[in-house]
Structure 1
């Protein structure tokens, strides 16, 4: 074979090889064949060099001398990935890429960046939910372009960070008794609703407010005197996909806040307002407290508050444990198991129960019952499943594609999470315990039942509308006091905050009333 024949053969093979790859069925997410020299270099030359070679270098960027993806060039390649993936490049006036070429090139860059940055924190930009706003809608909702074949859907084993709404509601369930939901009155706040923000937009959890019958000073003094817990998981202002991929940890600051407030919650569970006030402040006749209260200006102080004697908080095994003198293994375990399920929404395993029981007993042994019980039980507030919802699928049989379906508590809690902030109802819990949450049929049965059951509060439906319309963010962005004044609202001070958050609550209730009547509203949106 002479040199000319060999050269022509290589050229023909290269052309046919490139054409063959272009004609291949493309499966998003699968490894892209080729390296920089035989794949990426040609892409840059054909689609980028018109504007970004050494002679043109628009935006002071030349890609002509760019080499393969490495630590030095990673930032440039990340920029290329973003521009191509978000369809910013090539420019609109230039010849456009085919959808398969764009997706394949994007996948290649992602795989290379993941390889290069593996030991340096990794590459995660492609997992940012905000990027979802740029996905071509025709790919999501229209027929797939010819040449694309989707792999059977699945997700990796993972843990979801509990949302602020879920977290604050779990804590609220421990210390406050909310009225049961009445579906004939959808505009009223009931058990299972998220704890609302105050007029400053702060998300807090309040102790004993339903027993306060008198205080000194205005509402500011009242709020100052009431012990509260700030939300510690994520930001209450985050919208959309709040459980970000790779968001696996609770930082030390958050853990410290959780532990610091856990004891306050446990003490209130045990003693009620006595954990906040002196015995003489708990009376149905405030005049009796007037005779013994300290003199002077008490506005904004805890000692200015008078609580009724009526018990309205949940009476729990924590109360029983501290009410009776001494300790027994039975009462300690009952308290541990109760608190664990209240915070994680599932019963503890025998090992988990034993571990936390030992922690509490060790604490009691070191500092005595009074401090030891609260110190030991506080650890449960930092349990993984009190702060995260796992989807680890540690058991189950893989299907033909290697996928394992969620089952039992993981599947049941995923279904519950889709609609509610409180624990699974009795029927869903029974299905989980009896092994009837393992199949698609099981999921359909429970979801259909819960949606059709008007007695079940479904606050996450309302959350959808908040995320969709952003109306609950009005208090943070509205500063047009003149416009508000024209509606009759006071414009003094920061009154616009109060007006806008009042409007948020009113809009919540309006939407609930509309959804009750209009069954097609979600479909139309």
Structure 2
């Protein structure tokens, strides 16, 4: 009986397994039948991609001498192979950037480009990759690769928006921030620039996507914060011109109460100190949570180091807040029906102020909507007068009009000569890069004494040329690239020229007085206007313009036409030529690279 039951059970199990296997095979067959159309479609897409590439690219990438070592005849659709993934990445980049096929070959249509790039992206994602070129396209130098057809064909009708961003504080804004502590600060202590830009390549570098507060930035910033906290409390020690130790400080009354007391400050006293520092540094009031956090921070530090150290530590914490490092453009305003968020009033005020000037919004005075009341930009925004687009446009135009560069004196383009807004000149300097000329080392024996001084004079000449053309506001870029009129050693007016010449004639204490006198006498005897610069070594910088400093008739009205066939715009200006040269020789490669990347908005292939 037992044996019969066991055999029956075994037979039953075997029968069930057979049924399960048959059912599994049936499901597998159904699945294979269902997948076969998808597999066929995928194979068809792969064949289409390969045929498109061969049709348009086989001339250059055939089996015989393929360019860049890329042969499309042997190309396979196997994204599991890392080497092939690299090949497909290269293909995707070339098609995306419009480099392949070359101009003299049959071109892919816009639909074919979208199909090819879309297919490659899809295959890359299947194996956990994203296109390498996407990272490049986020860089400013690749901005011109945005499809002009898609930008202007009307297919993207909106709604539009920009992604949130954090924009690292610029070095110019930080310098302006330090000026709020008084000019004496830099005279008595070393303050380092934590937000320096990489200008070694002679290009615009202040982009939100490229600048980050790394370890080096934060270390310098913390050192500065410690110095500033000491300057506002106990003071910084320095040696004066007689080598005597002195102490310099700028302590507000709100801090003196804490520093002089042996008792712990009350909440009211602490709140007053915190409020003062927030308004000074961040141009806003502290929130209740910030009052509580910083107050608790002070009390903990005071138990260990007393009031003075606790106050200094608390001030450093305020100085290191994210707002002191980044300009926030996150979008903290209300959400609209599309899910977009406008900048909050404070964000908007700082965005406008930092975009147009180096000052904070509380330092910029504008006229309110009523056309009469004057108020600072920050309070205008907080008062609800920067909600409508028309209001923002009105305020921006007002700031630009108030900072009109045309009021500047052409004598020198520095802060000491009446320029209220240096952003315009800074843009042209960053774009052309000619202001780097003094940083290029040149052979001192050939150039002579004071070579940096001479190149700085050339930069001043170039500044005057740029702003003269900008002020005329007619075909600015074309004029900058083609003009044959230059400024050379120009002092701004006939009055300035006569004053300087009088000084040269009467300054008997100058070591070059005899040389200057003979030069002036020879020039006047020959009926020439002398160059209003002291010393032969200083005057010789005009030789860089192919002008003989000893015999040149200095034009008192400038700009003036240069000798025919010698100069054509800023790219033949000595300042630009020196800036884009090597230490010992001219560098046509660097100059050609600049022309390709700046004027033609192109990039050099990797």
| TM-score computed with the length of structure 1 as normaliser | 0.64
Tell me if the contact between 1:269 and 1:314 (Cα under 8 Å) persists in the aligned partners: yes
CA contact (8 A) 1:163 1:243 kept: no
Quick check: 1:86 aligned with 2:88? Answer: no
CA contact (8 A) 2:438 2:455 kept: yes
* Structure 1 unaligned spans of 5+: 1-9, 15-32, 178-205, 210-225, 290-303
Q: 1:159–1:389: 8 Å Cα contact kept in structure 2?
A: yes
By relative contact order (CA 8 Å, sep 6+), the higher-ranking structure is: 1
Tell me the equivalent position of 1:131: 142
Pick the aligned partner of 1:176 from 176, 183, 192.
Answer: 183
The DSSP-based 3-state class of the residue aligned with 1:253 is: helix
Match of 1:240 in 2: 204
Matched, 1:444 2:381: no
* Residues 258-337 of structure 1: pairs in structure 2 closer than 5 A: 258-271=221-234, 274-277=235-238, 281=240, 304=243, 316=252, 320=256, 324-326=260-262, 327-337=265-275
1:354 and 2:292 are equivalent in the alignment:
yes
The separation in 1 between residues aligned to 2:468 and 2:254, in whole angstroms, is: 39
Is the CA contact (8 Å cut-off) linking 1:337 and 1:348 kept in structure 2? yes
Asked whether 1:408 is paired with 2:345, we answer yes
In 2, Cα distance between the equivalents of 1:114 and 1:330?
59
The Cα of 1:317 is off from its aligned counterpart by: 5.7
**1:469/1:123 Cα in 2 relative to 1: closer, same or farther (>3 Å)?**
closer
Look at both structures and tell me which one has the larger radius of gyration over its CA atoms. Answer: 2
Report Cα offsets for 1:246-276 as digits up to 9, x if no partner: 75x52233222211221112212335xx512
1:69-89 superposed Cα distances (whole Å, 9 cap, x missing partner): 668255434432332233322
Q: 1:156 aligns with which of 144, 155, 163?
A: 163
Matched residue of 1:276: which SS? strand
Aligned length in residues:
410
Q: What's the offset of the Cα at 1:419?
A: 0.8
Correspondence for 1:65: 75
User: What does residue 422 of structure 1 align with?
Assistant: 359
The whole-number CA distance in structure 2 between the counterparts of 1:509 and 1:447 is: 26
Aligned match for 1:433, one of 382, 385, 390: 382
SS in structure 1 opposite 2:181?
helix
Tell me how far 1:169 sits from its aligned partner: 2.8
Q: 1:467 to 1:55 in 2, by over 3 A?
A: same
Q: Is the 8 A contact 2:194 2:218 kept in 1?
A: no
- Tell me the residue number matched to 1:373: 311
Are the aligned partners of 2:95 and 2:101 in contact in 1 as well (CA < 8 Å)?
yes
TM-score by length of 2: 0.57
Q: How far apart are the structure 2 equivalents of 1:162 and 1:258?
A: 12
Distance 1:246 1:459, change over 3 A: closer
What secondary structure sits across from 1:62 in the alignment? coil
> Cα distance 1:104–1:519, how it changes in 2: closer, same or farther (>3 A)?
farther
* Cα distance, 1:447 vs structure 2: 0.4
Q: RMSD of aligned C-alpha atoms?
A: 4.3
Once residues 176 and 437 of structure 1 are traced to their aligned partners in structure 2, the CA distance between those partners, rounded to angstroms, is 33
Q: Deviations over 1:149-204 (max 9, x none)?
A: 46443211222222232233323423437xxxxxxxxxxxxxxxxxxxxxxxxxxx
Matches within 5 A, 1:95-244: 95-99=106-110, 101-102=112-113, 105-106=116-117, 124-133=135-144, 144=152, 149=156, 151-176=158-183, 207-208=186-187, 227-235=190-198, 237=200, 239-244=203-208
Q: CA deviation at 1:433?
A: 1.4
Looking at structure 2, the residues matched to 356 and 252 of structure 1 have their Cα atoms a distance apart, in angstroms, of 24
Query: Which of 472, 475, 478 does residue 435 from structure 2 map onto?
Result: 472
Deviations 1:298-334 (A, max 9, x none): xxxxxx3687x9x9x8664675456543534334333
- Map Cα deviations across residues 333-387 of structure 1 (whole Å, 9 max, x no partner): 3333333344444443332343233323322232212222212221223222211
What SS does the aligned partner of 1:81 have? helix
Render the CA deviation track for 1:202-226: whole Å, top value 9, x for unaligned: xxxx6236xxxxxxxxxxxxxxxx5
Task: Give the whole-Å Cα distance in 1 for the aligned partners of 2:477 and 2:210.
Answer: 31
